[in-house]
């Protein structure tokens, strides 16, 4: 059975530089697939290949049954794509923009206008607002771009950092829409820098320097890469070197103003408190926490493989 997206040994080189290196994965129809990685890891390049906008240098990928190398037109007609650099016509309203994009997809006038209105309401916009998109704040423009990517009812949607710069309340609206669309059987391929959003994905792939170094459900990634216990440790001018040699400690990462300290099951709160007491650390608090995907990400990026 073909998957919504099938990728095998995908490569993309820019001159001597390898932006995507031997990436293989598949995405099931209706799955929300998160693609994470630092800036420059190769996420947007992968998306552009999978949307039929950039030819691969090697390997093979099929999207909605179309080969990206030989049938990029078929791919483009089957997918929705919200790019990081989407552009709206500044001298049109949001509704007029959507009406225009719908026309470009050759959707008939009455159904495309009905769908544009429905989508605008879904993403929290007023279809009758006469404001031009030039005057719209970035987060509102991103809502229009999301609606535009969904307009022609694609079976697969690629969202490249759809919520970058969007406030937390609006991010919830985005994700409510994304989940509703996925519940209707549409496949979502999404990149994000917000690790809390990655938790909403069925599976998550982690890219480092063009390579896919980990791929699994959020809970299995945590079991694999940050097993054992995790403590959030805070205190005045606290530094990893104070705890590095404590028995049972397996990882320490700076996290906000504190540290996330991971260890095997022998590591307890009291041992950390005692150790910090010995070096005279002040204002110490130690809390047992559930690891986040950010812990996974940091563990993968610094280690690149499970211990
Ligand atoms: N057309 C191009 N020519 C040369 N290098 C490119 C080109 N497009 C991308 N790159 C390089 O390929 C690498 C991967 O870029 P890409 O945009 O895929 O990263 P990304 O993971 O999407 O990062 P970000 O989170 O910043 O969007 C970067 O080093 C980038 O500079």
Instruction: Tell me the H-state helices in the chain.
Output: 43-50, 72-78, 94-104, 109-122, 138-150, 168-183, 195-198, 218-225, 269-278, 293-303
Q: Is the CB of 34 under 6 A from ligand 1?
A: no
Q: Is the CB of 19 under 6 A from ligand 1?
A: yes
| 35-38: Cβ within 8 A, 24+ apart | 35/189, 35/190, 35/191, 35/204, 35/205, 35/207, 36/191, 36/192, 36/193, 36/195, 36/198, 36/204, 36/205, 36/206, 36/207, 36/293, 36/297, 37/191, 37/206, 37/207, 37/208, 38/208, 38/301
pLDDT 10s digits, 153-207: 999 999 999 998 888 888 988 899 999 999 999 999 999 988 889 999 999 999 9
Q: Is the CB of 192 under 6 A from ligand 1?
A: no
Question: Which helix (H) or strand (E) element contains residue 157?
Answer: strand 156-160
Nearest atom in ligand 1 to 48's CA = 18
Residue 1 confidence (pLDDT): 53
Q: Candidates 11, 18, 42: which one to mutate for ligand 1, based on the most atoms within 8 Å of Cβ? A: 42
Q: Taking a C-beta distance cutoff of 8 angstroms, is the pair 267, 249 a contact?
A: yes
Which residues, 6+ apart, have CB-to-CB distance to 46 below 8 Å?
Answer: 7, 10, 12, 20, 23, 35, 207
| Residue with CA at minimum distance from ligand 1 atom 11 | 19
Q: Above 90 in pLDDT, residue 256? A: no
Q: Candidates 21, 40, 162: which one to mutate for ligand 1, based on the most atoms within 8 Å of Cβ? A: 40
Q: Above 50 in pLDDT, residue 306? A: no
Q: Taking a C-beta distance cutoff of 8 angstroms, is the pair 198, 218 a contact?
A: yes
Residue scoring higher pLDDT (104 or 1): 104
Distance 39 CA to ligand 1 centre (A): 8
Q: Above 70 in pLDDT, residue 305? A: no
Q: Above 70 in pLDDT, residue 307? A: no
Distance 62 CA to ligand 1 centre (A): 22
Nearest atom in ligand 1 to 84's CA = 27
Looking only at the bridges linking them, the beta strands covering 258-263 and 229-234 are: antiparallel
- Give the Cα separation of 251 and 259 in Å (integer): 10
Q: What Å distances lie between residue 249 and 115, 150, 252, 266, CA to CA?
A: 55, 47, 8, 9
pLDDT 10s digits, 117-127: 999 999 999 99
pTM of the predicted model as reported, rounded to 2 decimal places: 0.90
Mean residue pLDDT of the chain comes to 93
How much is the average pLDDT of 239-253?
93
Residue 237 confidence (pLDDT): 87
Distance 104 CA to ligand 1 centre (A): 28
Q: Enter the tokens of residue 276.
A: 């910090």
Burial class (CB in 10 A: 0-12, 13-18, 19+), 138: exposed
Q: Taking a C-beta distance cutoff of 8 angstroms, is the pair 97, 89 a contact?
A: yes
Partners of 11 in beta bridges: 58
Q: With pLDDT > 90 as the criterion, what percentage of the chain qualifies? A: 81
Distance 41 CA to ligand 1 centre (A): 7
| Residue with CA at minimum distance from ligand 1 atom 1 | 14
Q: Is the CB of 45 under 6 A from ligand 1?
A: yes
Residue scoring higher pLDDT (299 or 61): 61
HSE value, Cβ hemisphere, 13 Å, CA-based, for 11: 11
pLDDT 10s digits, 12-27: 999 999 999 999 999 9
Q: Is the CB of 148 under 6 A from ligand 1?
A: no
The DSSP-derived string for 92-125 is SBHHHHHHHHHHHTT--HHHHHHHHHHHHHHTT-
Nearest atom in ligand 1 to 37's CA = 21
Residue 270 confidence (pLDDT): 95
How much is the average pLDDT of 47-73?
96
Partners of 13 in beta bridges: 18
Distance 151 CA to ligand 1 centre (A): 28
Residue 268 confidence (pLDDT): 94
If you ran DSSP here, which 8-state letter would residue 135 be given?
G
Distance 220 CA to ligand 1 centre (A): 29
ipTM comes to 0.96
Distance 19 CA to ligand 1 centre (A): 7
Torsion of CA 296, 300, 301, 303, to 10 degrees: 130
């Amino acid at each position: 059975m073909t998957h919504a997206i099938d990728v095998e040994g995908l490569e993309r080189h820019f001159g001597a530089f390898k932006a995507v290196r031997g990436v293989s994965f598949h995405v099931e129809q209706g799955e929300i697939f998160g693609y994470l990685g630092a800036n420059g890891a190769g996420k947007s390049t992968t998306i552009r290949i999978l949307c039929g906008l950039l030819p691969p240098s090697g390997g093979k990928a099929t999207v909605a049954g179309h080969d990206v190398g030989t049938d990029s037109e078929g791919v483009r007609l089957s997918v929705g794509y919200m790019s990081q650099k989407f552009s709206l016509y500044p001298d049109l309203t949001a509704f007029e923009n959507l009406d225009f994009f719908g026309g470009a997809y050759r959707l008939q006038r009455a159904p495309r206008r009905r769908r544009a209105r429905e989508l605008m309401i879904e993403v929290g916009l007023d279809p009758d607002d006469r404001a031009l998109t030039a005057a719209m704040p970035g987060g509102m423009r991103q809502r229009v771009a999301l609606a535009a990517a969904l307009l022609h009812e694609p079976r697969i949607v690629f969202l490249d950092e759809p919520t970058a710069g969007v406030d937390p309340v609006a991010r919830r609206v985005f994700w409510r829409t994304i989940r509703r669309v996925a519940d209707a059987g549409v496949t979502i391929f999404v990149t994000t820098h917000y690790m809390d959003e990655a938790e909403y994905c069925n599976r998550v792939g982690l890219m480092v320097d063009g390579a896919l170094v980990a791929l699994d459900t959020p809970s299995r990634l945590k079991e694999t890469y940050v097993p054992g216990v995790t403590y959030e440790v805070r205190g005045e001018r606290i530094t990893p070197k104070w705890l590095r040699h404590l028995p049972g400690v397996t990882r320490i990462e700076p996290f906000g103003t504190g540290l996330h300290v991971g260890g095997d099951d022998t590591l307890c709160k009291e041992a950390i408190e005692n150790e910090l007491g010995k070096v005279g650390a002040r204002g110490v608090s130690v809390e047992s926490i559930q690891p986040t995907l950010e812990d996974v990400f940091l563990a993968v990026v610094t280690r690149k493989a499970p211990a």
